[in-house]
Chain A
Amino acid sequence: MSFWTEGEDIADQAAPDGPIETRWERRKFSAKLVNPANRRKLTVIVVGTGLAGGSAAATLAEAGYRVRSYCYQDSPRRAHSIAAQGGINAAKNYRNDGDSVYRLFYDTVKGGDFRARESNVYRLAEVSVNIIDQCVAQGVPFAREYGGLLDNRSFGGTQVSRTFYARGQTGQQLLLGAYQAMERQIGLGTIEMFARHEMLELVVVDGKARGIVVRDLVTGEISTDLADAVVLASGGYGNVFFLSTNAKGCNVTATWRAHRKGALFANPCYTQIHPTCIPESGTHQSKLTLMSESLRNDGRVWVPLARGDSRAPGDIGEHERDYYLERIYPSFGNLVPRDIASRAAKNVCDEGRGVGPGGLGVYLDFADAIDRLGKPAVEAKYGNLFEMYQRITGEDPYAVPMRIYPAVHYTMGGLWVDYDLQSTIPGLFVIGEANFSDHGANRLGASALMQGLADGYFVLPNTLNNYLASGPFDKVEPSHPDVAAARAQVEDRLTRLLAVDGDRTVDSFHRELGHIMWEYCGMERTEEGLTKAIGLIRGLREEFWQRVRVPGTGEQLNQNLEKAGRVADFFELGELMCIDALHRAESAGGHFRAESQTPDGEALRHDDRFGYVAAWGFGETPVLHKEKLDFEYVHPSTRSYK
């Protein structure tokens, strides 16, 4: 029995061909425009207010469209982009260190292990420079040097310094910039904001995305919102693992509902496990906290040479330590990309050389940096991260090395989109982490902020017009059978969740699902493990619908009802992730199949068999559509950071 069937190949019809340097320019020119007077007549729904959704909503409203914006948090300022620490890449070459748009493009395609589209990545690198300009104009307080100009730092996976940052709070500062631009439009009446609202269904009428069904999380009221286009900017699905660095509310529901309505879901198995997170401390653990990758600029990663060496780190001499990243990867050292650093940590822990409780940790040591730069300089760069570490663990990282371990952080997969960022449902656009487009099988550090803002400020506002130019579309009434049916689906599902009235909590199911995913679809995957996981997930899902207990009613603030709906969708997504991981019998980026490795344990791709995007159609048995990837500029090679 196969877990999937194969459908027709697909292709990105929206990207121009010809020289890559001018593709975006040519697409902008060929896209149909909407004249300013007509924009006022067109309504766009934007779901999510992170970097992608916030910047898109503000920019579309500035352009004159009517925007209705939704978030589940109590304010758009709280979207999880806010927690991004390290920085944002841009090919400004302010350092005169050989950087260029082409190099950022090259690094991103290579960093993604040759599983991303060249056209999209080139455009991302191209608009990166505009993002920094835009953010500075908005008052984003990036770090500066004494001459008053912007400072840069280097980041994993690259050999140039192209990362702009605001101490360890770059995401917060960029998000506040987008949020403030949004609030300005809300004040002007061009954006209508619905905080504490959650999208629970997509409305598709005559094959086009025409609206959403939402639940007011305070009153429980279900309503439909109809528009000319729908933009999903609802983030990634890392919380399928229960423990991740995502915010507790992050979920897949918006994109999963769209998938069930016909949007293809691409590369769900590509998940990024971030190497520098604070290890788990016990069974109460509700989430994991990331320590910015920028720490690897000055911190040195090591474990004891000997297995089971439980001495305090200070008692372990230099010659008894294994700085394994510097040893295995001499040219990149501690700055190897995330997937490589994470797996190396797992390997040394599997060898019994891990440190801390359960042996699931490695040291990130700043002693040399403090000797070399002095404590004040280290404090100026990383002060807030050190404080955060101390608050959580009760240990002082200036005195003892940090303990870190990999944790789920980002998901490269997402809804399939074309060059215009349009999904396979006309009128449904997907931006930011919610789409699959730019990072291939592995995202480089400081590239998520870049992509979210590229999509929201510069790409979508120049492609959405091409779709809307064929509108305004026929008005859809709330009584339309397709609208009423979408609404009824939502109501029915909520009723079913409340009616089970079993004997297990939502969190207990979510934890168990997360454990299955981490064990079998985490840092290392095998055919045997994935097959087993699919069976376990199916069993657990069935049990969920028989035994879950959701207290309270649907007509009130009910945080467990919210969670239950999200976890129900995670079960379905988790299964598809395992199927995708099972079908991809190669290792690429964040997806490591134990059966496919080089003699020295590095990831082994099979470009001839798997050089495509796997875009899945929804069904009892998922249907695989392949989008072949062509590399005209950056020729696939074995990624080496040695």
Chain B
Amino acid sequence: MDIQVRVWRQQGPSSAGKMVTYDVKDISPDASFLEMLDVLNEKLILDGDDPVAFDHDCREGICGMCGMMINGVAHGPERATTTCQLHMRHFSDGDTIDVEPWRAAAFPVVKDLVVDRGAFDEIIQAGGYITAPTGTAPDAHATPVTKLDADAAFEAATCIGCGACVAACPNGSSMLFTAAKVAHLGLLPQGQPERDTRVVDMLQAQDDAGFGGCTNMGECTTVCPKGIPLTLIGRLNNDYRKAIGSR
């Protein structure tokens, strides 16, 4: 199939950017979206142009490194799918596709489609862990965990930290990301001792990093490649109220 892509080109963090149109010809419907960009880049290099910079690594939907706005939607038109797992069979011959980087105050553009998501790491540093230095653990069977809780914790823990939730949010909020970690650890018995400080500290770090506030728009969960549910944000708010109340 032959398509056109309009790609956001930006040399560096402080340069001005613009949309540039490219033709990409003879793409297999079985190619992934990133493989389509590979084909474009091979051509750009041989033509003496600067290839499009984009982040990617595992290309199997788990590392969370890739991500771009495709026709205005984070990770593109398929639900529960990362950009690397989006295939060209979901587009039609002759389509024009817009490709832009994540847009959020807390994720500055590095180059073209590459953004800096270091702010996510800062949120985890503030409390997204259970303090359990190596060597201190009791036997794994010392504390049984109800299967329902274990499964729910797992579901929350599947967040890949790609940042689509932030990019989709009109407020540029990272609430779904933070809520997923708060739920993962808060659902487990091991996570209880730090439950109150965790939620308070992570929310503070989220504000400090420049993310916006949450107004329950729900755009985040719609684009989330792992389907992290909006209800986790309600759970976070409950935890937060309890934590503040107990101070």
Q: How far is the CA of A482 from the CA of B81 in the complex (A)?
A: 49
Q: Most chain-B CB neighbours within 10 Å: which of A137, A145, A179, A186?
A: A137
Q: Does A551 contact B (CB under 8 A)?
A: yes
Name which residue of chain B comes closest to A282, CB basis: B28
Name which residue of chain B comes closest to A133, CB basis: B137
Query: Which of B69-77, B123-131, B168-176, B216-224 touches A?
Result: B123-131
Interface residues of B in 37-52 (CB under 8 A from A): 38-39, 42, 44-46, 48-51
Q: Does A187 contact B (CB under 8 A)?
A: yes
Whether the pair B30, A282 counts as a contact (CB closer than 8 A) is yes
Name which residue of chain A comes closest to B186, CB basis: A139
- Contact A284-B35, Cβ < 8 Å, known A134-B132, A144-B150, A391-B85: yes
Q: How far is the CA of A524 from the CA of B216 in the complex (A)?
A: 57
Whether the pair B28, A388 counts as a contact (CB closer than 8 A) is no
Q: How far is the CA of A173 from the CA of B56 in the complex (A)?
A: 20
Whether the pair B32, A80 counts as a contact (CB closer than 8 A) is no
Q: Does A62 contact B (CB under 8 A)?
A: yes
Q: How far is the CA of A290 from the CA of B61 in the complex (A)?
A: 12
Which B residues are CB-close (under 8 A) to A614?
none
Whether the pair A248, B59 counts as a contact (CB closer than 8 A) is yes
Query: Which of A198-206, A526-534, A555-563, A604-612 touches B?
Result: A555-563
Whether the pair B154, A173 counts as a contact (CB closer than 8 A) is yes
Q: How far is the CA of A183 from the CA of B12 in the complex (A)?
A: 28
Whether the pair A141, B153 counts as a contact (CB closer than 8 A) is yes
Q: Does A181 contact B (CB under 8 A)?
A: yes
Q: How far is the CA of A91 from the CA of B190 in the complex (A)?
A: 23
Q: Does B63 contact A (CB under 8 A)?
A: yes
Whether the pair A149, B134 counts as a contact (CB closer than 8 A) is no
Whether the pair A78, B64 counts as a contact (CB closer than 8 A) is yes
A interface residues, how many (CB within 8 angstroms): 81
Which A residues are CB-close (under 8 A) to B235?
none
Which A residues are CB-close (under 8 A) to B34?
286
Query: Which of A319-327, A441-449, A502-510 touches B?
Result: A502-510
Q: Does B208 contact A (CB under 8 A)?
A: no
CB distance from B135 to the nearest CB of A (A): 8
Q: Does B57 contact A (CB under 8 A)?
A: yes
Which A residues are CB-close (under 8 A) to B245?
none
Whether the pair A138, B129 counts as a contact (CB closer than 8 A) is yes
Q: Does A34 contact B (CB under 8 A)?
A: no
- Contact A74-B55, Cβ < 8 Å, known A136-B137, A137-B130, A137-B190: yes
- Contact A136-B147, Cβ < 8 Å, known A183-B125, A281-B30: no
Whether the pair A75, B161 counts as a contact (CB closer than 8 A) is yes
B interface residues, how many (CB within 8 angstroms): 81
Interface residues of B in 98-146 (CB under 8 A from A): 110-111, 114, 116-118, 120-121, 124-126, 128-141, 143-146
CB distance from B220 to the nearest CB of A (A): 19
Which A residues are CB-close (under 8 A) to B129?
138-139, 180-181, 183-184
Query: Which of A38-46, A102-110, A164-172, A423-431 touches B?
Result: A164-172
CB distance from B164 to the nearest CB of A (A): 15
Q: How far is the CA of A559 from the CA of B81 in the complex (A)?
A: 24
Q: How far is the CA of A166 from the CA of B184 in the complex (A)?
A: 13
CB distance from A402 to the nearest CB of B (A): 15
Which A residues are CB-close (under 8 A) to B64?
77-78
Which B residues are CB-close (under 8 A) to A388?
60-61, 85
Whether the pair B30, A166 counts as a contact (CB closer than 8 A) is no
Interface residues of A in 423-461 (CB under 8 A from B): 457-458, 461
Which A residues are CB-close (under 8 A) to B135?
130, 134
Interface residues of A in 108-157 (CB under 8 A from B): 130, 132-139, 141-150
Q: Does A536 contact B (CB under 8 A)?
A: no
Whether the pair B141, A55 counts as a contact (CB closer than 8 A) is no
Whether the pair B147, A148 counts as a contact (CB closer than 8 A) is yes
Q: Does B27 contact A (CB under 8 A)?
A: yes
CB distance from B91 to the nearest CB of A (A): 13
Whether the pair A138, B87 counts as a contact (CB closer than 8 A) is no
Which B residues are CB-close (under 8 A) to A186?
121, 125
Q: Does A73 contact B (CB under 8 A)?
A: yes
Whether the pair A507, B42 counts as a contact (CB closer than 8 A) is yes
Whether the pair A394, B87 counts as a contact (CB closer than 8 A) is yes
Q: Does A285 contact B (CB under 8 A)?
A: yes
Which A residues are CB-close (under 8 A) to B63?
73, 78, 80, 82-83, 247
CB distance from B120 to the nearest CB of A (A): 7
Which A residues are CB-close (under 8 A) to B49?
551
Q: Does B97 contact A (CB under 8 A)?
A: no
Q: Does A210 contact B (CB under 8 A)?
A: no
Q: Does B53 contact A (CB under 8 A)?
A: yes
Name which residue of chain A comes closest to B86, CB basis: A391
Which B residues are CB-close (under 8 A) to A387?
80
Q: Does A27 contact B (CB under 8 A)?
A: no
Q: How far is the CA of A447 from the CA of B184 in the complex (A)?
A: 26
Q: Does A58 contact B (CB under 8 A)?
A: yes
Whether the pair B110, A391 counts as a contact (CB closer than 8 A) is no
Q: Does A94 contact B (CB under 8 A)?
A: yes
- Contact A62-B133, Cβ < 8 Å, known A286-B35, A388-B61, A557-B53: yes
Whether the pair A143, B150 counts as a contact (CB closer than 8 A) is yes
Q: How far is the CA of A145 from the CA of B144 in the complex (A)?
A: 10
Whether the pair B125, A55 counts as a contact (CB closer than 8 A) is no
Q: Does A287 contact B (CB under 8 A)?
A: yes
Q: Does A289 contact B (CB under 8 A)?
A: yes
Cβ-defined partner of A141 (8 Å) among B46, B48, B137, B184? B184
Q: Does B7 contact A (CB under 8 A)?
A: no
Closest 8 CB pairs of A and B: A148-B144, A187-B125, A137-B137, A180-B129, A141-B154, A137-B132, A133-B137, A284-B31
> Could you list 23 examples of A-B contacts with CB < 8 Å?
A59-B134, A62-B133, A73-B57, A75-B117, A76-B121, A78-B63, A78-B65, A82-B62, A130-B135, A136-B143, A137-B132, A139-B130, A141-B188, A186-B121, A248-B56, A249-B57, A284-B38, A289-B60, A387-B80, A394-B87, A508-B42, A556-B11, A557-B114
Beyond the given pairs A74-B117, A392-B32, A508-B42, 4 more chain A to chain B contacts, judged by CB atoms under 8 angstroms and listed by A's residue number, are: A145-B147, A148-B150, A181-B134, A507-B42
